[in-house]
């Protein structure tokens, strides 16, 4: 993903990728890429989200897009829903006041339908674990049940601040400014498995 274009590389020779396709995109600067299902890409930009399909020959075509206010916006998705967080801060040029978690029904990929819009203070990364959505925000980590179209807040782990997170099986990997922690967050209790950072890094 470049600023306003997406390139497709062939990995036929893994250590010598070659470009096979390029598509220019409309809208804001591109930021995040989320591979979805077998042959789809969800691309977050500073002005919206684009759903693209990858053909067997490596060409990309746009299926649909949604636009929102100018902000930063990571994205994750499960089989039927797409979750976008919007954040406005100094990292996002010209962003307006906008701090939200947006949920879209993407059962019909060509027509994403917004089903929820939740105000949340400075959301950063987000991660899905089955029917649970974790959202890192200003004060910590929120846990939502996303079985239905409207997320239900289950827990708010205020001690778990981080920059970004990913799900790794049963646990979460969180990155902070100067440390990486692995955590199991369950039923309101966050158990830190390990913390790698200042003074704590085990070197073989």
Residues that bind another protein (CB under 8 A): 2-3, 9, 11, 14-17, 19, 90, 163-164, 166, 168, 171, 173, 175-180, 182, 193-194, 196-199, 201-204
Q: How far is the CB of 32 from another protein (least distance, A)?
A: 10
Q: Which is nearer to another protein, 187 or 203 (CB)?
A: 203
Query: Which H/E stretch holds residue 192?
Result: strand 189-197
Distance CA 48, CA 68 (A): 5
Distance CA 50, CA 28 (A): 11
Cα separation values, 201 from 144, 162, 164, 195, 204, Å: 32, 18, 19, 8, 10
Q: How far is the CB of 59 from another protein (least distance, A)?
A: 19
Q: How far is the CB of 198 from another protein (least distance, A)?
A: 5
Query: Which H/E stretch holds residue 22?
Result: strand 18-24
Q: Which is nearer to another protein, 2 or 159 (CB)?
A: 2
Q: How far is the CB of 20 from another protein (least distance, A)?
A: 13
Q: Which is nearer to another protein, 66 or 162 (CB)?
A: 162
Q: Which is nearer to another protein, 116 or 173 (CB)?
A: 173
Q: Which is nearer to another protein, 77 or 127 (CB)?
A: 127
Q: Of 18, 10, 84, give the one whose Cα is nearest residue 54.
A: 10
Q: How far is the CB of 2 from another protein (least distance, A)?
A: 5
Gyration radius (Cα) of the chain, Å: 18
Q: Where are the alpha helices (DSSP H) in 56-193?
A: none
CA dihedral 166, 4, 72, 67 (to 10 degrees): -110
Q: Which is nearer to another protein, 50 or 172 (CB)?
A: 172
Distance CA 4, CA 130 (A): 32
Q: How far is the CB of 55 from another protein (least distance, A)?
A: 18
């Amino acid at each position: 993903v470049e600023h306003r274009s997406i390139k497709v590389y062939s990995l036929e020779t893994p250590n010598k990728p070659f470009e096979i396709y390029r598509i220019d995109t409309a809208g804001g600067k591109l930021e995040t890429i989320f591979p979805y299902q077998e042959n789809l890409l969800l691309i977050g930009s500073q002005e919206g989200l684009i759903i693209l399909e990858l053909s067997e020959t490596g060409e990309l075509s746009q299926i649909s897009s949604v636009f929102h206010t100018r902000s930063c916006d990571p994205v994750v998705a499960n089989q039927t829903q797409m979750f976008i967080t919007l954040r406005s801060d100094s990292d996002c040029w010209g962003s307006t006041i906008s701090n939200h978690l947006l949920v879209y029904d993407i059962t019909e990929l060509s027509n994403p339908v917004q089903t929820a819009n939740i105000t949340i203070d400075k959301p950063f990364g987000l991660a899905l674990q089955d029917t649970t959505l974790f959202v890192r925000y200003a004060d910590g980590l929120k846990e939502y049940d996303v079985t239905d179209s409207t997320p239900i807040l289950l827990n708010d782990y205020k001690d778990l601040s981080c920059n970004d997170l990913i799900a790794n099986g049963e646990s979460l990997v969180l990155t902070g400014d100067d440390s990486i922690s692995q955590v199991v967050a369950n039923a309101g209790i966050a158990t830190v498995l390990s913390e790698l950072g200042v003074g704590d890094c085990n070197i073989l």
